Amino acid sequence: MSKKSEILSAKPISRRLFTGGIAAGAALAATGLPTRRARAAAPLKIGVLLPRSGHLALIGQQCQRGADIAVPLLADMGHSVTLMNADIESSPDVARTQAEKLIREGAHVLMGAFQSDATAAIAQVAEQKGIPFIVNIAADPAITEQGYKFTFRNFPTSPMLGMGGMSLFKDIFAATGTTPKTAVLMHVNDSFGMSMLKGIQALTPKLNLPFKIVETIAYDPKARDLSIEVAKAKAAGADMHMVVSRLNDAILMVREMVKQQYEPMGIISPGSPGMYEKQFFKALGKYSEYCITNVPWFDPKQEMTSVLGAAFEKAYPDQSYELNIGFTFEAVLIAADAYKRAGSTDSKALAEALRASNIAKRVMIGGPIQFDEKGQNKNLKSAAVQNRGGKPVVVMPKESAEMAPVFPMPGWKARS
Amino acid sequence: MSGVSENRVLAGSPSTGEAARGGLIADVPRRALILLGLFAALLLVAPATVGDYLLSVMILVLYYAYLGLAWNVMMGFAGQFSLGHALYIGLGGYTAGALFVHYGLPPWFGMVVGAAVAAVMGGVIGALGFRFGVKGVYFALLTIAFAEFTRILFDHWGWVGASSGLYLPVEYRDTDDLWLLRGSATMFYYVILAMTAGAFILCHWLLQRRVGYYWQAIREDQEAAQTLGIDVFRYKMIAVMLSAAMTAIGGVFYAFYYNNLYPETIFSMHRSIELMLGVIIGGIGTLFGPILGAIVLTTLGEMLTGLTEDLGLDGIKQMSYGVALLVIIVYRPGGLWPWLRRRLGLEKPR
């Protein structure tokens, strides 16, 4: 039977039915409790925008795991959130339409988006619609320099990353009593690598670092062979090997260093992916040991870190437990915390609550999560993470360290 | 090539040239005019009936339709294959964006300058290619090379933000400022609608002129065209420079709509491919093909996005997208528009 004919054939409303309906409605209206309760208990809808396909798919999917695992963990802490996931396909254009779609479908808060260009596009939509947007990862400083009122970033800007990564060198040397005089820098020649190079060159004299970079070697991150580059680095005869890498090239580089018996005092990255990732350990085994990366990292002294780590290991035993997980988890935590304090899904109330965030119990190294007037969390620190016993371990800053740093590292031969 | 017969029908075959000179619509069948009118009316009232999300999808459709029309001038009409049109989007966007950010100059001024810069760049590429006999895929490689080294240049040029990108200021506004292109999605919708309509009319007009016929002659057989006395170099240069300038104007729209420009995104090869896909699907060398292609591709993309989220399988969109394109290319190799036009009975009797 069609809907129209159902309506036509329905019995007319009787006087008794009408009176009963009115009475029931009046009773509901008078108490009002079920409706209000239902509203208060309704979970916060977080629109998660991540590059789960396209050229950044690997990292986007990793971030998504951080968001997914946050929901049950936060539920145990009394937070009620649901995720509305959207794949931005590693494209800022798609990010914009997906953000609008999520808002239309009722997202109370947006979160994302790992890549700076997509994050900038989402921030703009969030600002126009007045919907709070929490940036999990994106380092472009301009994102929080636009005077946006609804954008909040819990990730260091690229200058903060550079400063944090470079200043840790001195701490490592002081803690180990070994100071190299010279260094060689091998770096990828993409935008990331080139901007890191600029930062390193600017910060080395500014921070009065004790070593001199005697050779800078650029290479293609998609290179299949780094023998010439590594031979060049070895020929430079520097004490320390600095590296700005991605994953596959980092593996290639260390393999080549072993092959060419190039044994500097240490391999240290001032802040790049690759050496702390699970595939790096799997591919290199004992040769992955003692490499150091200076990056924002989990705070092993925080209780929440071990809870998250255990849950992640259980849910995703084959995946790397690294900073992308931590910052995405924290982004969901920040939204949930703001919702709890705001007591409402109203976007302005949520934005006010976000501005007043003060979350001491967190997973990443740094002070409490607090946002400045631009929406940037300034209490973020980098850590020196050294590969020890087949996993990345915090060795600096001292207050978060699990082990003391080893520098110089043992030679390749000594590891067998 | 099927585009030839399509163009003859739309633009008028040489024998109907006189009728064509009678006006822009003199040679267009009445039925086509009615459908075009209905389509235009639908587009005009759309913002009043659709929500913000759909409106943003429609802006994307029109944006790709516009860029497709621009690329079609060079490839579809004159037969010069470019795989680096992202270069002109970037040049237009960055020129207008930087002039606005640094000097407060309105985008309309930036549009003129950006189009001129792109036309000059197109001219340089064209001159290099055509003077030294670089043809076909080698010419396409030349266009990629220019897009790539311009990207690297912009990646290191501090004045335009280098790899950190160029941000146009965004503020909350209640009103639209058409002069500075600051305002609501509805305003941007009408701007890109006007741009697409303008490009469509311009292409239609060009195809009815001598230059249109010369381009098609060059596309079909360059040597024969030269033998007939056509200044091949000159007309190919006109196609490249015009296409570059039109694309740059699309780049200006992009800059002011998205408000942030990154060299890695805007000059990418991916963007170049994206803008020509719609034309290939719709029908290269046809007038309405780029518009139809943009509608089909964007709608298909959005539908598949929904499906991806429902199934929870990452990457299935790209796979399905590829399969759909494959199906269209296999079954409608000349594009969807020539087939659809036959179905709609819009072909002129010969």
Q: For the domain that residue B233 is a member of, what is the CATH number? A: 1.10.3470
- pLDDT of A370 reads 94
Yes or no, beta carbons of A103 and B60 under 8 Å apart = no
A198-218 mean pLDDT: 88
Tell me which chain B residues have a C-beta less than 8 angstroms from the C-beta of A100: 52-53, 56
Q: What is the DSSP letter of A399?
A: G
pLDDT greater than 50 at residue A398: yes
- pLDDT of B348 reads 65
Q: Is residue B349 part of a domain?
A: no
Q: Is residue B350 part of a domain?
A: no
Fold of A160-295+383-415: Rossmann fold (3.40.50)
pLDDT greater than 70 at residue A65: yes
- CB count in 10 Å sphere of residue A105: 12
B5 with B11: CB under 8 angstroms? Answer: no
Query: Which residues in chain A are classed under CATH 3.40.50.2300?
Result: 42-155+301-355, 160-295+383-415
**Mean per-residue pLDDT over chain B, rounded:** 85
- pLDDT of B165 reads 81
CA distances to A70, A323, A380 from A367, rounded to whole Å, are 21, 16, 7
- What the block records as the tokens of A87 is 């794949």
- What the block records as the tokens of A249 is 């090239």
Yes or no, beta carbons of A97 and B302 under 8 Å apart = yes
Tell me which chain B residues have a C-beta less than 8 angstroms from the C-beta of A85: 309
CA distances to A166, A237, A265, B287 from A208, rounded to whole Å, are 10, 22, 20, 64
- C-alpha to C-alpha distance for A86 and B53, rounded to whole angstroms: 14
Going by pLDDT thresholds of 50, 70 and 90, the confidence category of residue A37 is very low
Single-letter amino acid, residue B163: S
- C-alpha to C-alpha distance for A190 and A205, rounded to whole angstroms: 24
Span B42-92, pLDDT tens digits: 999 988 888 888 888 899 999 999 999 999 999 999 999 999 999 999 999
- pLDDT of A39 reads 43
pLDDT greater than 60 at residue A9: no
In this complex, the residue of B52, B155, B318 whose CB is nearest that of residue A104 is B52
- C-alpha to C-alpha distance for A297 and A394, rounded to whole angstroms: 8
Torsion angle defined by CA atoms of residues A384, A389, A391 and A392, in that order, rounded to the nearest 10 degrees: 0
Counted domains in chain B? 1
Phi/psi at A275 (5° precision): -80, -15
Residue in chain A closest to B63 (alpha carbons) equals A93
- C-alpha to C-alpha distance for B146 and B267, rounded to whole angstroms: 10
Q: Given the DSSP bridges, would you call strands A212-219 and A182-188 parallel, antiparallel or unpaired? A: parallel
pLDDT greater than 50 at residue B245: yes
Distance from CA of residue A386 to its chain's centroid?
19
Domain that holds residue B140: 2-167+176-344
Q: What is the DSSP letter of A43?
A: P
Give the A window 36-95 contacts with B, CB below 8 Å. Answer: 52-54, 57, 61, 85-87, 89, 91-94
Q: Is residue B312 part of a domain?
A: yes
Fold of A42-155+301-355: Rossmann fold (3.40.50)
Angle, in degrees to the nearest 10, between helices A323-342 and A57-76: 40
A275-299 mean pLDDT: 92
B267 with B165: CB under 8 angstroms? Answer: no
Assign B85 to helix, strand or coil: coil
- What the block records as the tokens of B289 is 């093909």
For chain B, the residues whose C-beta falls within 8 A of a C-beta of chain A are 51-53, 56-57, 60, 155-156, 161-165, 167, 169-172, 258-260, 262-265, 270, 302, 305, 308-309, 314-315, 317-318
Tell me which chain A residues have a C-beta less than 8 angstroms from the C-beta of B187: none
- C-alpha to C-alpha distance for A319 and A61, rounded to whole angstroms: 11
- C-alpha to C-alpha distance for B99 and A131, rounded to whole angstroms: 30
pLDDT greater than 50 at residue B13: no
Going by pLDDT thresholds of 50, 70 and 90, the confidence category of residue A199 is confident
- pLDDT of B349 reads 56
